[in-house]
Chains A and B, each alone.
Chain A
């Protein structure tokens, strides 16, 4: 990996990269997130788990304003998350996102999928953007598929393209919203391997997932969301050790069997 595509080194300042401060979110009568406060440091890999409907995807999607919040405050790399057009644009160039359904652009080739945003947002020339795209696609093992369209790839390959597409913007943090949930079992590993490699390179990652093996092996922190609150926040060895929280035990029991 060249310096050009290296994710940021951990920030020398001690300020957290992301601060979430007393955030509330309601969908109609449903109070999804209740006074959630936490922060994430540069270089950290945090895995967010919780039952369906616990608000984990909503929390993730708030960080790049795909979802609004009712009150509270989120600051990403010094930028207050709001609807202000200019700060929103800056925010989204710093925060990459990988979706459960990949959301590749079906009308563009793999190479164009990855090269588009650097050209349009960072103003790279087409050859420069394509060179960067090719480098990233090589890194995720897809150098032989650059001229295909997404529909010609397997789910695992599509998700790896999606990761490369996010990386092409050189974000300060990558959000993963259940990146392996839509994949056939035999393809989960290839995506997790790419994510592990990314984590090793020092990328700041926030991952909503049900892959407990990944959490155990790669995460610095595991956050457990329950009924709109952060019910647990601990290093994985501590989290997966004997749990005195009944709800976490029940959740892990369901996940692991």
Chain B
């Protein structure tokens, strides 16, 4: 897990070097590609972390005994999963400032808000499934020991639920990395935008977009590796062999 994270950091740090070796139009635009890659990873990490927190909150809302909380969570999940991410990105960037000046964000922040809200809804369903998969006997054992609701949740339910939810969560974050390309539409210079700019100046679409795709592929591969490592870390029962 640590090693995979180190690999990711190294990629971000050193990506300029292989890109600079590549023939033009990649080599002479290596810096632009490298910056775009960093922005893409930043978008993914920021909205990914917030998205997991939102997912936990929305999942708890959905399994809550309090009806209004269930309604709010269900409504949020319903809207976010039922509308295109592109519309959500545009809405956050262009429509929210018109509703309230407090909701005026710069391009990067707006993209993060939209992506986090979107992935949060998908995460909520994954975490909810995890919460429901924890056997009832676990709660009964925790309660009969006198554990408070908070400790029952934080010590017993949540660790078991998150372990079950981990593979779909990673799936969502990998999808998020690719979806972050929609930030292009509000002017964030992330990887896809960088590629597009290089194409506009070089008129060489084939090498530019092959390079763009290879960088995405490298990033998603590393993320999958990290998630496999995390899964193994929590696989105390040796189910993965």
Residue numbers of A with Cβ under 8 A of B are: 64, 66, 89, 92-93, 95-97, 99, 101, 103-107, 116-117, 120-121, 149, 151, 162, 165-166, 169
Q: How far is the CB of A122 from chain B (nearest CB, A)?
A: 9
Q: A92-B146, A149-B237, A169-B146 are in contact. Are A103 and B151 (CB under 8 A)?
A: no
> For residue A106, which residues in chain B have a CB less than 8 angstroms away from its CB?
160, 236-237
- Indicate if B57 sits at the interface (CB-CB under 8 A): no
B128-153, CB < 8 A from A: 135, 137-138, 140-148, 151
Q: Give the distance in Å from the alpha carbon of A97 to the alpha carbon of B141 in the complex.
A: 8
Interface centre among B137, B144, B156 (most CB of A within 10 A): B144
- Closest 4 A/B residue pairs (Cβ): A103-B141, A93-B146, A117-B145, A97-B144
Closest Cβ neighbor of B143 among chain A residues: A92
Q: Say yes or no: A121 contacts B140, CB within 8 Å.
A: no
Q: How far is the CB of B155 from chain A (nearest CB, A)?
A: 6
> For residue B167, which residues in chain A have a CB less than 8 angstroms away from its CB?
none
Q: Say yes or no: A107 contacts B160, CB within 8 Å.
A: yes
> For residue A89, which residues in chain B have a CB less than 8 angstroms away from its CB?
146, 148
Closest Cβ neighbor of A168 among chain B residues: B145
Q: How far is the CB of A186 from chain B (nearest CB, A)?
A: 24
Interface membership of chain B positions 204-241, coded 1 if the CB is closer than 8 angstroms to chain A and 0 otherwise: 00000000000000000000000000000010110000
Q: Say yes or no: B143 contacts A117, CB within 8 Å.
A: no
Q: Give the distance in Å from the alpha carbon of A120 to the alpha carbon of B159 in the complex.
A: 16
**Can you sample 7 A-B contacts with CB below 8 Å?**
A64-B144, A93-B146, A97-B140, A97-B141, A103-B140, A106-B237, A117-B146
Q: How far is the CB of B103 from chain A (nearest CB, A)?
A: 39
Residue in contact with A117 in the complex, picked from B140, B147, B236, CB distance below 8 Å: B147
